[in-house]
Copies of this chain bind each other. A is one copy, B any other.
Amino acid sequence: MESDTTEYILDRQVGFLLRRATQRHLAIFATQIPDLTPTQFAALAKLCEAGPESQNALGRQTAMDAATIKGVIDRLRAKGLVTAGRDPGDQRRITLAASSQGRALYEARVAQAQAVTRDTLAPLTESERDCFLALLAKLT
């Protein structure tokens, strides 16, 4: 039996499906939380949940490289949601913390953020959801 190894079916490639699922997810996120992007929310959430941190360390925890986290933090600082100061013990470090405004906004949006995950997974049944998340986590 000759299998069609030469045929490339775009719609069956993981990358393509991942891209489409991400597109849908981003649309859902933008609907639920119009005033923050997913990465901005992730950074703010980490600062609120885990406390002050250096910029690079925060980037590592939120899976953003140094160049990316910089842009995200710049925008959060411009919005007054995050404050920054030099670390007295290490002159290279910038210590970041959520401002009171940032914390308030975070707390006001957590419920919607959880709704985003719910809505994104809505096409799946309860058990499919668990299965999907477990498998997705393995591809990290």
**Interface residue A131 (Cβ < 8 Å from any Cβ of B):** yes
1/0 per position for A27-59, CB-CB distance to B under 8 A? 001000000001000100110010000000000
Contact with B along A108-123 (1 / 0, CB 8 A): 0011011011001101
Q: Quick one: which of A7, A20, A24 has the most chain B CB within 10 A?
A: A20
By DSSP majority rule, is chain A's interface helix, strand, loop, or mixed?
helix
Pair A20/B113 contact, Cβ less than 8 Å: no
* A91: interface (CB < 8 Å): no
Q: A6-B110, A20-B140 are in contact. List 9 more A-B contacts (CB 8 A).
A: A5-B114, A6-B107, A12-B133, A13-B117, A14-B120, A15-B38, A18-B21, A23-B63, A120-B139
A-B contact pairs, 15 of them (CB 8 A): A6-B110, A7-B49, A8-B45, A10-B46, A10-B49, A14-B25, A14-B116, A15-B26, A17-B133, A17-B140, A18-B18, A18-B21, A21-B140, A24-B139, A24-B140
Interface residues of A (CB under 8 A from B): 5-10, 12-26, 29, 38, 42, 45-46, 49, 61-63, 107, 110-111, 113-114, 116-117, 120-121, 123-124, 128, 131-133, 135-140
